[in-house]
């Protein structure tokens, strides 16, 4: 594509699934400066929570609670509300003894601020 148009394409954002190969390839080929901010596709994030969630959550009733709670976290646009919702869901998972799923989301989605800002909508507002 770069050869066809004859210049670098320098988007502000690059949204993809959770495989870093696409983002890394884009940056390597398309841009040497003004590297786009990498974001995770919301649909893929939800799929990554849902599929492992069903396998990791012991109680059937907790699967629906998890899906609703995690979607609310994902789509929250206010940082303070995001933190509050996150704490409530993590606490609920702990209280329900759903440690397998809790450990999964802590390891892959809440392990660092850099990771969280890739998928949480509250960090996508106004160029944050």
Domain boundaries, the chain: 2-39, 42-127
Beta bridge partners of 37: 13
Tell me whether residue 37 is exposed, middle or buried, using C-beta atoms within 10 angstroms of its C-beta: 0 to 12, 13 to 18, 19 or more: middle
Judged against a pLDDT cut of 80, whether residue 31 lies above it is answered with: no
Judged against a pLDDT cut of 60, whether residue 127 lies above it is answered with: no
Cα–Cα distance for residue pair 45/73, rounded to 1 Å:
12
| Arithmetic mean of pLDDT, 102-126 | 93
Judged against a pLDDT cut of 90, whether residue 1 lies above it is answered with: no
Q: What is the pTM of this model?
A: 0.86
Residues 26, 27, 30, 34, CA torsion sign: positive
């Amino acid at each position: 594509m770069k050869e066809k148009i004859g210049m670098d394409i320098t988007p502000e954002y690059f949204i993809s699934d959770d495989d870093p190969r696409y983002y890394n390839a884009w940056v390597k080929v398309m841009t040497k400066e003004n590297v786009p901010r990498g974001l995770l596709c919301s649909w893929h994030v939800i799929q990554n929570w849902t599929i492992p969630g069903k396998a990791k959550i012991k109680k059937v009733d907790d699967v629906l609670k998890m899906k609703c709670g995690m979607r609310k976290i994902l789509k929250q646009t206010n940082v303070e509300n995001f933190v509050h919702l996150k704490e409530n869901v993590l606490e609920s998972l702990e209280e329900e003894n759903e440690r397998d799923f809790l450990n999964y989301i802590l390891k892959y989605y809440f392990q660092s601020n850099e990771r969280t800002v890739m998928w949480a909508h509250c960090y996508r507002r106004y160029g944050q």
